[in-house]
Amino acid sequence: MAKMFFPQYARGREGVGLVVGENILEHIRRVGGVEIDSECGGQGICGKDIIRIEKGAENLTEFTAKEDHFLEQGILLSGQRLACQTRVKKDAGAVEVFIRDFGRYTILTDTVETDVALNPSVFVKDERILYHTGEDLGPYQGNILGLAIDVGTTTLVMQVVDLETGKNVGRPMASKNSQIAYGNDVISRIGYTRDREHGLRELQHVIIGDVNKSLNELEKKLKVEIGSIARKIYDVVVVGNSTMRSIFFGQNVYTLGVIPFEPANKDALTRKASGLGLELHPAAMVYGPPLIGGHAGADCLADIISTGVYQKPEISMVIDIGTNGEVVIGNKNRIITASCAAGGAYEGYQIRCGVGAIEGAITKVKIDNNRVVYETLGNKNPVGLCGSGVIDLLAELVRNGIMNERARIKLKKYHLTDGISISQADIDQLIIAKAGLRTDQDLLIKYYGTSLDEVSRIYLTGAFGNYMNIENAMNIGLLPKTNKDKFIKFGNGALAGAREILFSQEKRRDAEKIAGIIEHTKPNEKEGESFLYMVADRMYFK
């Protein structure tokens, strides 16, 4: 059988058998470990899964109407194709494919390491390693390690820790979540599990493979025997939104894609690592904290644990803007949450020149005397706009009178460089996204029966919150206008929470207790038709 090869990637060099009728994106998914941006999940809408055929083009189908459209727009260049549109028509010879390099992601790994008393769920007694439930995990052999995992829709961040000393083993590991090849949002992933017979198993296999690969890379960096760290990991804590956590544990996510958009199982989960395919100590245990409700998952719960909102008498807010956005308000007496799909546009998706936090992404923008001044990640040549750059640009367009308070720009497109611009259609996507998230913030304050003045702290968790210009975010209405000193950039709160739960049986019990009493609201359902008017009112720059 002839094969398809992807020479840029180690696993891709081994090749995968050609399947007549399958497109190249489907071949990429079967290989695993080959990275490609497929924002729309293979529908031919986003135009991001760009490839170049180096060999074997005669085995592939001709250009589709969708590819012709992107050629006319100048998005596809001569010699380029879309992976989701290019199918194998015969297996008469090898096909060699190069994927357009869309850059290395800069992924937030910084966490606030709070002072937690060390009392892990795995411990030594009489030279045996025991789990807190009493299960014997084997003889003590000198090290007990743990693994904290934050499974994001776009990214995967992990930290190995020593459960006897509380110290980190190496730096946090960060990579793209390879499930991005199946779509950039949870709805695409849910749809894939529904439409394919083995879709759920396939997506679970992908993320488990990412974890095993990251551990292998950590061992290489630390120059130790491959497997020597992984074999000493006895306990794992995994957090993620409701879809990501459920897929990790192989649980059906169908109910998250249909009304009332609730997970089938919100309870905490404990599984054997070996049963999930994780290459750790054979007796290692994996714990998934509870889900809150809807799309507010174990990552949101971990934010609440790490910020300590649930322990404080004063009222605080937590705002986590990612592919999904979560808002939390509360104190030790009461906590309310809401979630919305707010982050896609601000993570570089849904706008034509948007990119994720990759090398060359424009992160800061200033317009001075009609001259655009910008900074890029890695000081590389600009390749597009990422979230923090988008916020700056919108604020600068308004400040300079290029865009009015009704979010209308005077030009057909505003150019930052010869190849990077923002259009009215892009702006329309951005103002809808920011209005939805801001409406949730305002309504949670209302539901709590308090005021913005009485909110003592506003924690910004996640990469987007960590890098944004807070003043510009307030000026465009993404964040409420208040004393700037109230805002605390908290880093990766989800990973920090997972780490605390790994270190402390008390924190694990806290997570399970508060998950059952947190009030998860769905403002769009609660407000009915008036919610749309509220969102519309917050689209503009007043």
- pLDDT averages per 10-residue partition of the chain, 542 residues: 81 85 90 75 84 90 92 81 93 86 52 79 95 94 94 90 94 85 82 89 94 94 91 97 96 92 94 97 97 94 96 95 85 93 59 75 90 87 85 93 91 87 88 88 96 96 81 93 93 93 97 95 91 90 76
Q: State the span(s) of the chain assigned CATH 3.30.420.480.
A: 122-298
How buried is 66 (Cβ within 10 angstroms: 0-12 exposed, 13-18 middle, 19+ buried)? middle
Q: Euclidean distance between the first and final Cα of the chain, in Å?
A: 63
Q: Could you give the CA distance from residue 401 to residue 463 in angstroms, rounded to a whole number?
A: 30
Residue-wise pLDDT for 288-334, tens only, equals 999 999 989 999 999 999 999 999 999 999 998 876 789 999 999 99
Q: Which residue has the tokens 């503009």?
A: 540
The C-alpha atoms of residue 384 and residue 382 are separated, in whole angstroms, by 6
Place of tokens 């989701």: 84
133: how many CB neighbours lie within 10 A of its CB? Answer: 8
CB-CB neighbours of 272 under 10 Å? 14
Residue 368 β-bridge partners: 371
* 188 touches 195 (CB < 8 A): no
Q: Which CATH architecture has domain 3-99?
A: Roll (3.10)
For the chain, residues classed under CATH 3.10.20.30 are 3-99
Report the distance separating Cα 523 and Cα 443, nearest Å.
Answer: 7
Distance between CA atoms of residues 115 and 239, nearest Å? 20
Q: Is domain 122-298 in CATH 3.30.70.1140, yes or no? A: no
Which stretches within 259-349 are classed as H helix? 273-276, 298-307
Model pLDDT, residue 113: 64
The H helix count followed by the E strand count for the chain is: 15, 25
- Per-residue pLDDT tens digits for 241-297: 999 999 999 999 999 988 888 999 999 999 999 999 999 999 999 999 999 999 899
